[in-house]
Amino acid sequence: MPRPEEHLPPLRPLGADEAEQLAERMAVFATASRLRLLYALGDGECSVDELAALTGLAASAASQQLRVLRHLRFVVARRDGRRMRYRLHDDHIADLLGAIRHQQEHASHGWTDQPRAHDGAASRDA
């Protein structure tokens, strides 16, 4: 896994190609069944049958969505005998899921955060 110093700044300007790639990846979050699967994997590795039971999805539907999530590298799988066991690809996925849920809580309650330090500098310059 990359170390933080190996990442580029997250809020750097976004080019057209990268915007398209990010939009494709973020479309994963526009499907409720995929979100349910991702959140179910937050507690650790599961089989398709376990995920189906946790999410209320049919095993075939869970399997189909897991193929999409695996292709886009949101989950990884390993063989355990005759079964595949799935887990989140990395800690960034767990961080995204947490941020999505927290943002939803803020939006639904009308909460706002305090301005960030760099926001204050911009308002002083105005």
pLDDT digits (tens, 9 = 90+) for 40-63: 999 999 999 999 999 999 999 999
Is residue 62, in this structure, part of any structural domain at all?
Answer: yes
Beta bridge partners of 79: 84
Given a contact cutoff of 8 angstroms between Cβ atoms, the answer to whether 33 and 57 are in contact is yes
Q: How many domains does the chain fold into?
A: 1
Is residue 63, in this structure, part of any structural domain at all?
Answer: yes
Is residue 57, in this structure, part of any structural domain at all?
Answer: yes
Is residue 103, in this structure, part of any structural domain at all?
Answer: yes
Is residue 77, in this structure, part of any structural domain at all?
Answer: yes
Tell me the C-alpha distance between 90 and 96, whole Å: 10
What CATH number should be reported for the domain holding residue 20? 1.10.10.10
Given a contact cutoff of 8 angstroms between Cβ atoms, the answer to whether 87 and 45 are in contact is yes
Is residue 5, in this structure, part of any structural domain at all?
Answer: no
Q: How many residues does the chain have?
A: 126
Mean local confidence (pLDDT), 88-104: 94
Is residue 86, in this structure, part of any structural domain at all?
Answer: yes
Domain that holds residue 20: 15-110
Would you call 35 exposed, middle or buried from its count of C-beta atoms within 10 A (0-12, 13-18, 19+)?
middle
**What pTM was computed for the model?**
0.80
